Amino acid sequence: ELKVEQNPLFLSMQEGKNYTIYCNYSTTSDRLYWYRQDPGKSLESLFVLLSNGAVKQEGRLMASLDTKARLSTLHITAAVHDLSATYFCAVDPRGSARQLTFGSGTQLTVLP
């Protein structure tokens, strides 16, 4: 059974600071997604990472994938209040029983 673990689960940070969210997974995969969810809203796709070493950046967010370590990171640079949300990673395992499996999410609060 594929397991996806995110840490931290809760993150409170000051505006202007940098931080990294980690996503570990337990099985082989070369496709990983990051989603953002605002309170009471649905999930918004941020990044899809398709190969080992993939790096994608959008604004203050940068995501990377290391398939050998089974690890993805979401780095936040110079955080602003608008980034406050819950961030989920989701792993698409290889093989016939492909089913997108989500982590528990990281609830990010950016304080002024």
Partner 1 sequence: EAGVVQSPRYKIIEKKQPVAFWCNPISGHNTLYWYRQNLGQGPELLIRYENEEAVDDSQLPKDRFSAERLKGVDSTLKIQPAELGDSAVYLCASSLQRGETQYFGPGTRLLVL
> Where along the sequence are the contacts to partner 1 (CB under 8 A)?
4, 31, 33, 35, 40-45, 48, 88, 90, 92, 98-100, 102-105
Shortest separation between residue 87's beta carbon and partner 1, angstroms = 10
Task: Please tell me the distance from the alpha carbon of residue 94 to that of residue 112, in angstroms, as a whole number.
Answer: 42
How many residues are there in the chain? 112
Q: Which is nearer to partner 1, 2 or 77 (CB)?
A: 2
CA distances from 65 to 40, 69, 78, 94 (A): 29, 9, 21, 15
Q: Which is nearer to partner 1, 5 or 15 (CB)?
A: 5
Shortest separation between residue 112's beta carbon and partner 1, angstroms = 25
Task: Please tell me the distance from the alpha carbon of residue 100 to that of residue 104, in angstroms, as a whole number.
Answer: 13
Q: What is the largest CA-CA distance in the chain?
A: 47
Q: Which is nearer to partner 1, 29 or 64 (CB)?
A: 29
Q: Which is nearer to partner 1, 4 or 76 (CB)?
A: 4
End-to-end CA distance of the chain: 41
Shortest separation between residue 23's beta carbon and partner 1, angstroms = 11
Shortest separation between residue 19's beta carbon and partner 1, angstroms = 20
**Nearest-CA neighbor of 111 among 79, 88, 77?**
79
